[in-house]
Amino acid sequence: MKLIELHILQSFPVTCLNRDDVGAPKSAYFGGCQRARVSSQCWKRAIRLMARDLARGKEFMAFEGIRTRKAIGDLAKSLENKGVASVEAPKIAADICEGFLKKQKEEEEEKKEGKTKQAKTDVATPTETSTLLYFSSAELDAMADAVARALREKTKKALLDVASTAAPAAHLKDAADIAIFGRMVANESSLTLEGAGLFSHALSTHRSDTEIDFFTAVDDRHQKGEDMGAGMMGSLDFNSACYYRYVGLNLDMLKDKEHLDSLSGQERAKVLDAFLRAAIMAVPPARKNSMFGFNPPALVLGFRRTGQPLSLVNAFEKPVRSNSGYVEESVRVMQEHWSKLNGLYKLFDPTRDVEVQLPPDNLDACIERLIGKPDEC
């Protein structure tokens, strides 16, 4: 397996990058103590949105996948553009989108539960699906084109099958994000795609406790002689942590026929450039205006190599302890751990593989070396 891997150390004071169900920073128990945690899904969304902006800035529409419950409306609009009547398009789109998500046919469920099927004559056409669907504009356009053609030709094939067959034919030309992050469609395996990207949950390299910020606010129209109490008060949870996170990319999978085979080597190089920049620089935007967590990484250790993916998180199984900050000690511990693993398992071949480190290299130099020649992408 040909890989690009990033091992990132990143320090954030006073933040709540990823909240749990009660609004507190997420955490995990690792190495005998509680650590701060940011889920991979949280960071992946930040990466995906930044990569889209970076690609559009270079006039390369590559990260155009949209995860939404409103895919019915998007597909209906595409159907209308292909000549399907506006009164029919929403119903057809709803049947197709809901069909992608149903795990059992309605008749089978009713038979199992012993129910009598009820007529559904007055049920309104839904405008949202029960869960998120993830498609690009080109995929929706391909589905709409195939369905419209089937309607004109009065084909006997189910429109759901027509749509699910047409989507892969779009070849993800505008959906590098789907190729990298993957897609799961409950009832249509042909649309389910394993992502070429590999992402860890970010974990603090040290013990991290959640703290509470008690706040008050003053009423600007408070008059002398009125109650001297605060206009409002409350509390917010936060933490402070130096995180280790891993981002990897399976280059062999990325360029196979189910992923980005339809792009040229030059185009895939642009995809890699946008993705790697976003993977390094993107930060989850939670509480961005009140806690401002936009801190770039303190260290990025990057590899382009052949072999199996490798996390360096066990460098911090014994939590880092320091009286002078965690970054410097975390950098030392991770580099020592990598050196030890490489010595034991021969993970890196200097005659074939590439290693970069930021700093001392800058971002442009690191990415250029990791991508290599476009014809190798």
Structure confidence at residue 155 (pLDDT): 87
For residues 227 and 349, membership in a common domain is answered with yes
Chosen domain end from 116, 138, 173: 173
C-alpha to C-alpha distance for 294 and 284, rounded to whole angstroms: 8
Chosen domain end from 116, 141, 173: 173
Residue 188, in any domain of the structure: no
Residue 321, in any domain of the structure: yes
For residues 202 and 290, membership in a common domain is answered with yes
CA distances from 358 to 53, 188, 364 (A): 23, 42, 10
In contact, 322 and 333? CB cutoff 8 Å: no
Helix 137-153 to helix 159-169 angle, to the nearest 10 degrees?
A: 140
Phi, psi of 182 (to 5 degrees): 85, 170
Both tokens of 267, joined, read 């185009």
For residues 12 and 80, membership in a common domain is answered with no
For residues 14, 15, 20 and 21, what is the CA-based torsion angle, rounded to 10 degrees? 80
Structure confidence at residue 119 (pLDDT): 46
- Sequence-distant (6+) residues with CB within 8 A of 364 are none
For residues 249 and 367, membership in a common domain is answered with yes
C-alpha to C-alpha distance for 89 and 140, rounded to whole angstroms: 13
Residue pLDDT tens, the chain, 377 long? 999 999 999 999 999 999 999 999 999 999 999 999 999 999 999 999 999 999 998 778 899 999 999 999 999 999 999 999 999 999 999 999 999 987 544 545 545 555 544 544 456 888 999 999 999 999 999 999 999 999 999 988 899 999 999 999 889 999 999 999 999 998 888 899 999 999 999 999 999 999 999 999 988 888 887 777 788 999 999 999 999 999 999 999 999 999 999 999 999 999 999 999 999 999 999 999 999 999 999 999 999 999 999 999 999 999 999 888 999 999 999 999 999 999 999 999 999 999 999 999 999 999 999 999 988 88
For residues 268 and 306, membership in a common domain is answered with yes
pTM: 0.91
Residue 180, in any domain of the structure: no
Structure confidence at residue 104 (pLDDT): 46
Chosen domain end from 117, 139, 173: 173
For residues 149 and 280, membership in a common domain is answered with no
For residues 266 and 203, membership in a common domain is answered with yes
Residue 325, in any domain of the structure: yes
Residue 120, in any domain of the structure: no
C-alpha to C-alpha distance for 117 and 128, rounded to whole angstroms: 24
Structure confidence at residue 187 (pLDDT): 85
Residue 114, in any domain of the structure: no
| Count of the separate structural domains present in the chain | 2
C-alpha to C-alpha distance for 51 and 242, rounded to whole angstroms: 24
For residues 369 and 253, membership in a common domain is answered with yes
For residues 169 and 276, membership in a common domain is answered with no
Range of the domain at 151: 67-107+125-173
For residues 139 and 204, membership in a common domain is answered with no
Residue 246, in any domain of the structure: yes
For residues 246 and 334, membership in a common domain is answered with yes
For residues 26 and 153, membership in a common domain is answered with no
Query: Of 11, 13, 21, whose CA–CA distance to 238 is shortest?
Result: 13
C-alpha to C-alpha distance for 280 and 300, rounded to whole angstroms: 8
In contact, 288 and 341? CB cutoff 8 Å: no
Q: Which residues pair with 198 in a beta bridge?
A: 248
| Angle 177-362-369 from CA coordinates, rounded to 5° | 60
Residue 115, in any domain of the structure: no
Whole-number CA gyration radius for the chain: 25
Q: How far is CA 325 from the centre of its chain?
A: 30
